[in-house]
């Protein structure tokens, strides 16, 4: 009888670890009436491993068509919209898609616009001058379900919730309600009372009431002074202090 030792069974080759599939890239819809701006934003976003541009639009009508087709995770939109108030556009988007996440990117001073955009339903506000890295950080923050504003604006909001008056709150425009602010902007764009009434779906009498309140809050003596003030304000980049 053989006494030779039995050969050991061959060791099976190690099983290669299976890497989990990469997380799907989050979908961003760009809404801006400047093609060059959209192209720059798209280039920045497409370089990211966790985000992609799923569609683009240059006006609110095109944006709603793109919204139905692309089902984005975030709409990144400018506030200056042809034929539609940017704040009303945000409200319209949320009326159509209540769970939609919207990040506003704008050239206009956050001290005047950011809180209005948040009240309209946006999840964040960032100025175009903030740069690409800050924009990407803002997108990722709202994608996590958080709200994004700049540190400076965050401090203003917190101070506004306290009993102290926020420092640097000097713009008389901040006294206007959202509707008065929309009327004021349209006045600055040279719109007549009838034009404003049609665009905002108001009666001319209601627009005149808003004009009266705006004059009172801005301490302007007549309609001519209001038009001059509004035109100058609209034509001056609102980049803040």
Instruction: Output the pLDDT for position 163.
Output: 52
Is a pLDDT exceeding 60 seen at residue 176?
yes
pLDDT tens digits along 10-52 = 777 776 666 666 678 999 999 999 999 999 999 999 999 999 9
Alpha-helical segments (H) within 75-177: 86-96, 110-120, 132-143, 151-161
Residue 11 inside a domain? The answer is: no
Do both 120 and 215 map to the same domain?
Answer: no
The domain that contains 201 carries what CATH number? Answer: 1.10.10.10
pLDDT tens digits along 145-168 = 999 998 888 887 777 666 555 555
Structure token pair of residue 5:
């030792």
How far is Cα 96 from Cα 76, in angstroms, rounded to an integer? Answer: 16
- Show the domain range for 177: 172-235
Higher pLDDT, 223 or 82: 223
Given 160, 186, 202, which residue is the final one in a domain?
160
Strand 74-77, strand 80-81: pairing: unpaired
229 pLDDT band, cuts 50/70/90, is confident
Given 140, 160, 180, which residue is the final one in a domain?
160
Do both 214 and 128 map to the same domain?
Answer: no
What integer is the mean pLDDT of 71-92? Answer: 86
Do both 182 and 64 map to the same domain?
Answer: no
Q: What are the distances in angstroms from CA 194 to CA 9, 179, 188, 207, 219?
A: 92, 16, 14, 8, 24
237 pLDDT band, cuts 50/70/90, is low
For the CA atoms of 147, 149, 153, 158, the dihedral, rounded to the nearest 10 degrees, stands at 10
Instruction: Output the pLDDT for position 31.
Output: 95
Instruction: Output the pLDDT for position 241.
Output: 36
107 pLDDT band, cuts 50/70/90, is confident
List of residues 6+ apart from 22 with CB closer than 8 A:
49
Residue 144 inside a domain? The answer is: yes
Higher pLDDT, 115 or 102: 102
Given 138, 160, 182, which residue is the final one in a domain?
160
Higher pLDDT, 48 or 199: 48
The domain that contains 76 carries what CATH number? Answer: 3.40.50.2300
Residue 184 inside a domain? The answer is: yes
How far is Cα 51 from Cα 27, in angstroms, rounded to an integer? Answer: 6
State how many domains the chain has: 2
Instruction: Output the pLDDT for position 138.
Output: 96
142 pLDDT band, cuts 50/70/90, is very high
List of residues 6+ apart from 28 with CB closer than 8 A:
45, 51, 52, 53, 54, 72, 73, 74, 75, 76, 139
């Amino acid at each position: 009888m053989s006494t030779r030792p039995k050969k050991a069974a061959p060791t099976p080759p190690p099983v290669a670890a299976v890497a989990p599939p990469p997380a799907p890239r989050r979908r961003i819809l760009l809404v801006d009436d400047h093609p060059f701006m959209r192209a720059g934003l798209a280039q920045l976003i497409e370089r990211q491993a966790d985000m992609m541009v799923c569609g683009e639009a240059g006006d609110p009508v095109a944006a709603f068509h793109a919204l139905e087709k692309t089902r984005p995770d975030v709409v990144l939109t400018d506030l200056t919209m042809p034929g539609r108030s940017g704040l009303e556009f945000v409200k319209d988007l949320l009326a159509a898609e209540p769970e939609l996440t919207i990040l506003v990117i704008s050239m206009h001073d956050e001290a005047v616009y950011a809180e209005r955009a948040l009240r309209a339903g946006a999840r964040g506000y960032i100025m175009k001058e903030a740069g690409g890295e800050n924009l990407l950080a803002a997108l990722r923050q709202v994608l996590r379900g958080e709200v994004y504003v700049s540190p400076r604006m965050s401090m203003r909001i917190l101070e506004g919730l306290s009993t102290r008056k926020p420092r640097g709150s000097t713009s008389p425009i901040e006294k206007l309600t959202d509707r008065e602010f929309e009327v004021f902007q349209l006045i600055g764009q040279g719109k007549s009372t009838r034009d404003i009434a049609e665009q905002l779906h108001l009666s001319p009498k209601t627009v005149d009431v808003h004009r009266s309140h705006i004059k009172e809050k801005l301490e302007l003596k007549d309609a001519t002074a209001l038009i001059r003030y509004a035109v100058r304000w609209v034509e001056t980049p609102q980049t803040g202090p």
